[in-house]
């Protein structure tokens, strides 16, 4: 954690969910070398809001400005997008290709995770970006996603048949902690109330009743943001074998509040053609 003593003019404040944040100017950011390496994803006007990490990860940036961090898995190293694919990333693809895009009814800025994206849309985006840059982009596999969240799968078993690992949630073990991510929280409950059938997390405040700007909360140990929460993330795999009717989504979303669906081992099955305002995607770069 970077101490406020290294940022003479930095001030601290709390957001409406009680999360402690620092506020400093862009000039102060540039003058501070450790923070200068940090992705400039949280600039708003002349102020920067930072969720600090001990050591900024080594990053690669592609032509769309997407940040990738190296992650060492048991069998190989992969480069994983630090953020869920943003509206601004997907907008370039749509503008260049004319690919149809069903805009959601929820309010979003360019730095929110893109939603209403089918599995086919996500794969088409990856294929377009691969041709554009001459390198391979793809969705993570279900096994890779499990390894990113810190759990191992049983080999030879379809994702939908993998055993649930109780007691370990997307934020770790125990009750949900502050800064855990954008889930179905009190803000959601206040907005949607009794008209929404699913449970929300009583007493938890993440400051967003819909999707949230990517990178708003603390990253995980690999430097990945929003691996749990914000939007469900498509994986490459079929959920059901040999039927092959559903694809895997992982990680929960702003609509997820049931404890069983917040387990790190939980997979959602969704038809590959479905477009929902709670599903987006993250990409792997090879």
Number of chain residues interacting with Ca ion (CB under 5 A): 5
CB contact at 8 A, 280 and 85 = yes
Shortest CB 183 distance to Ca ion, Å: 6
Torsion angle defined by CA atoms of residues 170, 176, 182 and 185, in that order, rounded to the nearest 10 degrees: 130
Shortest CB 89 distance to Ca ion, Å: 22
Q: Given candidates 84, 121, 153, 185, which one binds Ca ion under the rule CB under 5 A?
A: 185
- Report d(CA 91, CA 112) in Å as an integer: 12
Helix (H) or strand (E) holding 235, with range, is strand 232-238
* Stretch touching Ca ion by CB under 5 A, among 67-75, 87-95, 179-187, 220-228: 179-187
Shortest CB 26 distance to Ca ion, Å: 28
Closest to Ca ion by CB, 84 vs 153, is: 84
Tell which positions 228-267 bind Ca ion, by CB under 5 A. Answer: 254
- Report d(CA 145, CA 217) in Å as an integer: 19
182 binds Ca ion (CB under 5 A): yes
Torsion angle defined by CA atoms of residues 141, 142, 145 and 150, in that order, rounded to the nearest 10 degrees: -140
* Stretch touching Ca ion by CB under 5 A, among 133-141, 180-188, 244-252, 270-278: 180-188
Strand order in the sheet with 284-285: 60-61, 67-72, 77-81, 284-285, 137-138
- Report d(CA 184, CA 152) in Å as an integer: 26
Q: Which residue is nearest to Ca ion (CB)?
A: 185
208 binds Ca ion (CB under 5 A): yes
Q: Given candidates 121, 142, 153, 206, which one binds Ca ion under the rule CB under 5 A?
A: 206
Q: Is 49 helix (H, G, I), strand (E, B) or coil?
A: strand
Closest to Ca ion by CB, 225 vs 254, is: 254
Shortest CB 216 distance to Ca ion, Å: 10
Q: Is 110 helix (H, G, I), strand (E, B) or coil?
A: coil
Footprint on this chain of Ca ion (rule: CB under 5 A): 182, 185, 206, 208, 254
């Amino acid at each position: 954690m970077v101490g406020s003593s290294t940022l003479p003019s930095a001030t601290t404040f709390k957001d409406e969910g009680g999360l402690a944040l620092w506020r400093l100017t862009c000039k102060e950011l540039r003058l501070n070398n450790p923070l200068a390496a940090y992705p400039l994803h949280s600039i708003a006007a002349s102020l920067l809001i930072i969720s600090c990490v001990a050591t900024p990860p080594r990053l690669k940036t592609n032509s769309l400005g997407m940040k990738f961090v190296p992650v060492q898995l048991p069998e190989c190293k992969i480069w994983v997008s630090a953020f869920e694919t943003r509206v601004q990333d997907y907008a370039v693809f749509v503008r260049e290709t004319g690919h149809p895009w069903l805009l959601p009814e929820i309010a979003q800025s360019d730095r929110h995770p893109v939603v209403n994206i089918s599995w086919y849309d996500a794969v088409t985006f990856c294929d377009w970006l691969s041709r554009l840059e001459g390198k391979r982009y793809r969705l993570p596999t279900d096994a890779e996603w499990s390894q990113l969240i810190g759990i191992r799968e049983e080999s030879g078993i379809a994702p939908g048949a993998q055993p649930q690992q109780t007691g370990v949630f997307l934020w770790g073990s125990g009750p949900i902690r502050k800064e855990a991510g954008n889930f179905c929280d009190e803000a959601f409950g206040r907005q949607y109330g009794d008209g929404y059938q699913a449970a929300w997390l009583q007493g938890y405040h993440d400051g967003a009743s819909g999707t949230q700007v990517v990178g708003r909360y603390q990253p995980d140990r690999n430097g990945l943001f929003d691996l749990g929460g914000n939007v469900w993330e498509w994986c490459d795999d079929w959920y059901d074998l040999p039927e092959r009717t559903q694809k895997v989504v992982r990680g929960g979303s702003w609509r997820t509040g049931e404890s069983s669906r917040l387990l790190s081992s939980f997979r959602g099955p969704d038809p590959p053609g479905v477009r929902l305002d709670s599903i987006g995607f993250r990409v792997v770069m090879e």
